[in-house]
Structure 1
Amino acid sequence: MEEQRKSENALVPALRFEGFSDPWEQRRLGEVVDVRSGRDYKHLKPGLIPVYGTGGLMTYVNEALSKNEDAIGIGRKGTIDQPYKLYAPFWTVDTLFYAIPKIGIDIEFALSCFLRINWKAKDESTGLPSLSKSAINDTRILLPDAREQSRIGTLFSKLDSLIALHQRKHEKLKTVKQSLLEKMFPKEGEDVPEIRFEGFTDPWEQRRLGEICDEVTRRNPLSEAPVMMITAESGFIEQSERYSTDNAGESLQKYIVLRRGELAYNHGASKLRPFGSCFNLLADEARIPFVYHCFSLRSDCPAFTSLELNGGQVEDQLRTLVSSGARMDGLLNISFEEYQTVRLLLPSLDEQRQIAGLFAKLDSLIALHQRELDILKNLKQALLEKMFV
Structure 2
Amino acid sequence: MKPKIRIKGFNDAWEYSYLYNCLEISTEVNKENKYGKDEVLSVSDDFGVVNQIKHLGRSYAGKSVSGYKILLPGQIVYTKSPLRDKPFGIIKENNYQAGIVSVLYAVYNVKEGIFSKYIQRYFEPKQRINKYLVPLVNKGAKNTMNISDEMSLNGKITKPVTICEQQAICSYFDKVDELISTASSRLASLKQVKEASLQAMFPQKGGTVPKIRFKGFEEEWEEVKLSSFAKRIKRRNSCMESTLALTIASALGLISQNDYFNNSVVGANIRNYYILKRGEFAYNKSYSNGYPFGSVKRLDRYEQGILSTLYIVFTIDDSISSDYLTHFFDTTLWHKDVAERAAEGARNHGLLNISAEDFLDIAIWKPRSIEEQQHIASYFTSLDKQIALQTQRLEKLKQIKAACLDKMFV
Q: TM-score, normalised by structure 1?
A: 0.84
Cα distance 1:269–1:12, how it changes in 2: closer, same or farther (>3 A)? same
Q: CA RMSD in A?
A: 3.2
Match status 1:370 vs 2:391 = yes
Distance 1:274 1:129 in 2: 36
Instruction: Output the CA distance in 1 between the equivalents of 2:321 and 2:92.
Output: 46
For 1:344 and 1:128, the matched residues in 2 are separated by: 51
Q: Is the Cα–Cα contact under 8 Å of residues 67 and 88 in structure 1 kept in the other structure?
A: no
Shift of 1:217: 1.5
Alignment of 1:341 with 2:361, yes or no, is: yes
Q: Report the CA distance between 1:92 and its aligned residue.
A: 6.0
Following superposition, the deviation at residue 194 of structure 1 comes to 0.9
1:110 corresponds to: 119
SS in 1 for 2:343: coil
CA distance in 2, matches of 1:186, 1:96: 53
Matching residue within 262, 276, 280 for 1:258? 276
2:312 maps to which of 270, 293, 313: 293
* CA distance, structure 2, for counterparts of residue 217 and residue 36 of structure 1: 70
- Structure 2 CA distance for partners of 1:357 and 1:228, relative to 1, 3 Å: same
Give the conservation status (yes or no) of the 8 Å contact 2:71–2:94.
no
Contact 1:20 1:148 in 2 (8 A): yes
Summarize deviations over 1:341-382 as a string: whole Å, max 9, x none: 222211122212211111111111111111111111111111
Q: Distance in 2 between the 1:131 and 1:360 partners?
A: 54
Could you tell me how far 1:118 is from its partner in structure 2? Answer: 3.6
Name the counterpart of 1:331.
Answer: 351
Distance 1:255 1:215, change over 3 A: same
C-alpha distance 141-45 of structure 1, shift in aligned 2 (>3 A)? closer
Q: Aligned equivalents of 2:329 and 2:323: distance in 1?
A: 10
Q: Does 1:16 align with 2:16?
A: no
Q: Decide whether aligned partners of structure 1 residues 340 and 108 sit closer, same or farther in structure 2, where only a CA change above 3 A counts.
A: same
**Alpha-carbon deviations, 1:217-273, whole Å to 9, x = none?**
212333247332101222111110233333215332222222222110001112321
**Contact 2:208/2:221 (<8 A) preserved:** yes
Identity of aligned residues (%): 27
Question: Which secondary structure does the structure 1 equivalent of 2:2 belong to?
Answer: coil
1:163-202 matches, cutoff 5 A: 163-202=180-219
Q: Which runs of 5+ in 2 are unaligned?
A: 60-64
Q: 1:380 to 1:356 in 2, by over 3 A?
A: same
Q: Secondary structure at the match of 1:344?
A: strand
Deviation, 1:386, is 1.3
Q: Which runs of 5+ in 1 are unaligned?
A: 1-10
Contact 1:85 1:111 in 2 (8 A): yes
- Relative to structure 1, the CA distance from residue 199 to residue 383 in structure 2 (aligned partners, 3 Å threshold; closer, same or farther) is same
Matched, 1:59 2:53: yes
Q: Does 1:89 align with 2:83?
A: no
> Residues 223 and 377 of structure 1: is their aligned pair in 2 closer, same or farther, counting only changes over 3 Å?
same
Give the residue type in structure 1 aligned to 2:121: S
